[in-house]
Amino acid sequence: MAGPPDPDIIVEFVHQGAYLRCAAVDTATGIEATAMGPHNVDPRVLEKIAIGKLKRALAARG
């Protein structure tokens, strides 16, 4: 990800078996978006995907 993360978004990584799960949560609304990949994936890739999904979900809300 280029630059610091948005201060209104919390990002969490959890190993689940052979997978790595990244959750991005908007602190103002509580809306969460996730991305999953193999345990050896670069976490920055999953973070970028999860934040992108979150931003699209927030935009769709209006």
pLDDT one-digit tens code per residue, 2-39: 445 677 999 999 999 999 999 999 999 999 999 999 99
Residue numbers of the domain that contains 30: 9-61
Count of structural domains within the chain: 1
Confirm whether 23 is domain-assigned.
yes
The model's pTM is 0.87
Confirm whether 1 is domain-assigned.
no
Confirm whether 4 is domain-assigned.
no
Report how far residue 56's alpha carbon sits from residue 46's, in angstroms, rounded to the nearest whole number. 15
Confirm whether 2 is domain-assigned.
no
Confirm whether 53 is domain-assigned.
yes
Report how far residue 46's alpha carbon sits from residue 42's, in angstroms, rounded to the nearest whole number. 7
